[in-house]
């Protein structure tokens, strides 16, 4: 019995050796010659060729007869499509959300695009005494919250235009300390796209968007709290979620290169890859 258990743990070495070849093809921008494929996989070309012959026979790899280049085969495509079809995106997001809270110690949230805009569907509160006043089902403004701004920046404009227009009008009528026009909002969207994530730091940025005569409703909503939100993309390159960390300004560094910002972006990119997104 002990020998059988040991054999089971050992697995099939030839499969493990072939793995790097498949990984190299999966990560490549296109078909590869034998020399490049062997180099990336870290094995001699002659050895790589032997494994490629077997992989071609089972359909995981194919070779172009005209130029001799190798690429993933029909079976690899079929396996990939089946795997994507079986993905439970929210379950994967839950795992990532738990990991992000563990890494940051702060409140983390997951938002998706709903009928009324960015909507929280998952929320894990910080273990700190301070509780962030957020709830599952909350719809977040797109002009002065990190989650909302993330969707405004990375969803197609056709999907956000109507709701953004209405929100900007509400900001004007309510005299909120928030963008009143698309021109005022654009610097925030540009900044979000440049950093590949959104940031709100307890006040509206840039300060040029604040003018005399506006109430501080939006500013009070954010006062004392910082937030970063990063987009999560699916296999088709479409934004599916916003992954957000929010907490006291005393604990969340507002620096774009701070630990919270980097953790938020890293976990969002990890979830995107798990959902099949490739850059």
DSSP assignments along 134-190, one per residue: --TTPBPPSSSSHHHHHHHHHS-HHHHHHHHHHHHHHHHHTT-SS--SHHHHHHHHH
Give residue 98's pLDDT. Answer: 93
Taking only the tens place, the pLDDT of each residue in 104-121 is: 999 999 999 988 889 998
Prior bond of 6 cis (ω within 30°) = no
- CA gap 79, 72 in Å, rounded: 11
DSSP assignments along 62-98, one per residue: EE-TTT--EEE-HHHHHHHHHHHHT--HHHHHHHHHH
Report the chain's mean pLDDT, rounded to a whole number. Answer: 83
**Is the separation of the CB atoms in 118 and 142 below 8 Å?**
yes
The predicted model scores a pTM of 0.66
Q: Domains in the chain, ordered, with CATH? A: 2-84 (1.10.10.10), 87-274 (3.30.450.40)
pLDDT at 99 over 80: yes
**226-237: burial string, b at 16+ Cβ within 10 Å, e else:** bbbbbbbbbbee
* Token code pair at residue 50: 């032997």
Q: How confident is the model at residue 137 (pLDDT cuts 50, 70, 90)?
A: confident
Q: How confident is the model at residue 83 (pLDDT cuts 50, 70, 90)?
A: low
80 phi, psi to nearest 5 deg = -65, -45
Taking only the tens place, the pLDDT of each residue in 159-217 is: 999 999 999 999 898 888 889 999 999 999 999 999 999 999 875 433 333 444 444 44
């Amino acid at each position: 019995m002990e020998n059988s258990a040991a054999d089971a743990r050992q697995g099939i070495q030839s499969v493990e050796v072939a793995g790097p070849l498949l990984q190299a093809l999966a990560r490549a921008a296109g078909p590869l010659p034998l020399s490049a494929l062997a180099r990336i996989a870290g094995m001699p070309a002659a050895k790589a060729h032997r494994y490629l012959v077997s992989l071609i026979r089972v359909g995981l790899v194919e070779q172009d007869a005209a130029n001799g280049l190798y690429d993933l085969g029909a079976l690899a495509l079929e396996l990939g499509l089946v795997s994507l079809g079986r993905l439970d995106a929210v379950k994967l997001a839950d795992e990532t959300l738990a990991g992000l809270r563990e890494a940051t110690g702060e409140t983390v949230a997951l938002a998706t695009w709903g009928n009324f805009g960015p909507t929280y569907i998952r929320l894990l509160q910080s273990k700190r005494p301070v509780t962030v006043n957020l709830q599952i089902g909350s719809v977040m403004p797109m002009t002065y919250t990190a989650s909302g701004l993330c969707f405004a920046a990375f969803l197609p404009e056709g999907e956000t235009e109507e709701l953004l227009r209405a929100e900007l009008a509400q900001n004007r009528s309510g005299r909120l300390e928030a963008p009143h026009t698309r021109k005022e909002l654009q610097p925030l969207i540009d900044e979000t796209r440049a950093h590949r994530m959104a940031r709100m730091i307890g006040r509206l940025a840039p300060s040029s968007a604040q003018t005399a005569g506006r109430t501080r409703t939006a500013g009070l909503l954010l006062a004392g709290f910082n937030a970063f939100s990063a987009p999560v993309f699916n296999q088709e390159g479409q934004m599916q979620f916003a992954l957000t960390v929010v907490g006291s300004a005393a604990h969340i560094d507002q620096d774009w290169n701070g630990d919270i910002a980097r953790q938020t972006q890293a976990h969002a990119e990890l979830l995107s890859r798990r959902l099949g997104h490739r850059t």
